[in-house]
Every structure is written in C-alpha cells, then in structure tokens.
Amino acid sequence: MSGVSGKVVAITGASSGIGEATALELAARGAAVVLGARRTDRLSALAERIRASGGRAEVLPVDVTRRTDLEHLVATAVERFDRLDVLVSNAGIARTGLMADLDVDSWDAMIDVNLRGVLHGIAAALPVFRRQGRGHFVTTVSTSTDGVLRTTSISPGYVRTELIDYIDDPEIREQARSTMATLGIGPDAVARAVAFAIEQPDDVEIGDITIRPAIQN
C-alpha cells in the first residue's frame, strides 16, 4: 500500500507537540489515527478537530511505561479499523541536568518512558505486523527488524514542543526555552517527515531521517 490515505496509524504521545502535529498531518492525508497519551482531555479535543475536518480518529489513555496500555492501543486499532499499518512511538520526557547531580530517579524515568516505552510498543505491534505480513515502526530508536517490516528512525533537532517543560532544574529549563525560542522549528516539520516515510511504497524503506533547523550547527 503506497501513500498515507487509507492507512491505520497508532501514535503515542499524541496530546501535544510532534505527536499532535503528526496526527493532524496524517489524518489530513486520509489516514485513520489511533491516539494515545496520558492527557485524555487534550486527546479528545484533538480527535474532535480531526473528525470535524472529516478525518477518522480514536483515542484512549496510554502510559507507555505500562505494557498493557500499548497492547490496548494496538488492539483498539485492530478492533476499530481491522488492522494496524504503522506505529509511531513518539512519547518521551526530558530530565536534563548535570551528571554530577546524580539524579538517578530522573534517569530511571527517562529509561522507563524513552526506552522501555518504545520496547513496549514494539512488543505490542510486532505480532500484529507479522500476522499481517507487513508493518512499519516509526520511532526515535528502533530495536526491531524483520523481513516483512519497515523501520524508520526520526532524529529531530530543536523543535518547539512541551518536552522542555519537564526539565526539573529551573536554570537549565530557562536556557533550553531560550535556545528553543531562537532555533526551534515547528513540530509540523517533523510531522511532514513522518508522513514522507509512511507514504513510500512497501518496497522502499526510509531508514533514518535527521530533521533540524537550518541554523542549528
């Protein structure tokens, strides 16, 4: 299946930033989107925007640190739309700080969300993709590959999202906000890159995409 129209795409971290922009971009191109995040009020508002424009969207609460939540996300896609074509693993957190601060709890939190969350998505979607004989993982880091699967790694530079709001150290957080205001590009730019990877024919794999502001060194 070429193009985006008609594909079924599940997206984690869909309540804001790159996930939200990706949902809007893919739905506008005719994909059915299944949206997961912890902030269900924002997910519901996003789904209403998509439906008001004639798109198809389903939402459910997803905490990627819980494997069962990812299983429910995948199951919802299959139950509602009969299949899952793409899993976009977008959920992530930032706990930036000095290594010398030894903030081990923050390290654990990033591992749980940014690494284990991706693995939970792979574990949930891989059986479906293998049963279908096709599937596509779009993630910041992918640890799975198979002859019937495609994997795409998206590496964004400075993108204006809410990720930096979760940096605990106020000084580092303000520095990051200042840099983001100066250099950051909109999340819709990353969404278009995701759509580009997804719309390729099944025999074409876009393995890696680095997207960043032109002025970022």
Distance CA 8, CA 195 (A): 12
Buried b (16+ CB within 10 A) or exposed e, 160-180: bbebbebbebeeebeebeeeb
Q: What is the mean pLDDT of the chain?
A: 90
Predicted pLDDT at 9: 98
How distant is the alpha carbon of residue 28 from its chain centre?
Answer: 17
In a domain, 170, yes or no: no
Q: Report CA dihedral (51, 190, 129, 74) to the nearest 10 degrees.
A: -50
Give the length of the chain: 217
How distant is the alpha carbon of residue 192 from its chain centre?
Answer: 13
Contact assessment for residue 3 and residue 199, using Cβ atoms and an 8 Å cutoff: yes
Q: The domain containing residue 136 runs over which residues?
A: 8-155+187-209
Predicted pLDDT at 144: 47
Distance CA 203, CA 107 (A): 38
CATH number at residue 72: 3.40.50.720
pLDDT band at residue 216 using 50, 70 and 90 as cut-offs: confident
For the stretch 82-136, pLDDT in tens is 999 999 999 988 777 777 888 899 889 889 999 999 999 999 999 999 999 999 9
pLDDT at 141 over 60: no
In a domain, 177, yes or no: no
For the stretch 23-57, pLDDT in tens is 999 999 999 999 999 999 999 999 999 999 999 99
In a domain, 214, yes or no: no
In a domain, 167, yes or no: no
* Stretch 2-20: mean pLDDT: 93
H-state helical runs in the chain: 17-28, 40-52, 67-81, 104-110, 117-132, 170-183, 187-198
In a domain, 78, yes or no: yes
pLDDT at 146 over 60: no
Predicted pLDDT at 142: 42
3-class SS at 216? coil
For the stretch 83-93, pLDDT in tens is 999 999 999 88
Residues 6+ apart with CB under 8 A from 165: 173
pLDDT band at residue 180 using 50, 70 and 90 as cut-offs: confident
pLDDT band at residue 147 using 50, 70 and 90 as cut-offs: low
Predicted pLDDT at 2: 56
Distance CA 213, CA 179 (A): 12
In a domain, 79, yes or no: yes
Residues 6+ apart with CB under 8 A from 97: 103, 106, 167, 168, 169, 172
Counting the structural domains of the chain, the total is: 1
pLDDT at 13 over 80: yes
In a domain, 174, yes or no: no
In a domain, 169, yes or no: no
Most confident of 59-68, 166-175, 193-202: 59-68
Query: Between 175 and 47, where is the model more confident?
Result: 47
pLDDT band at residue 143 using 50, 70 and 90 as cut-offs: very low
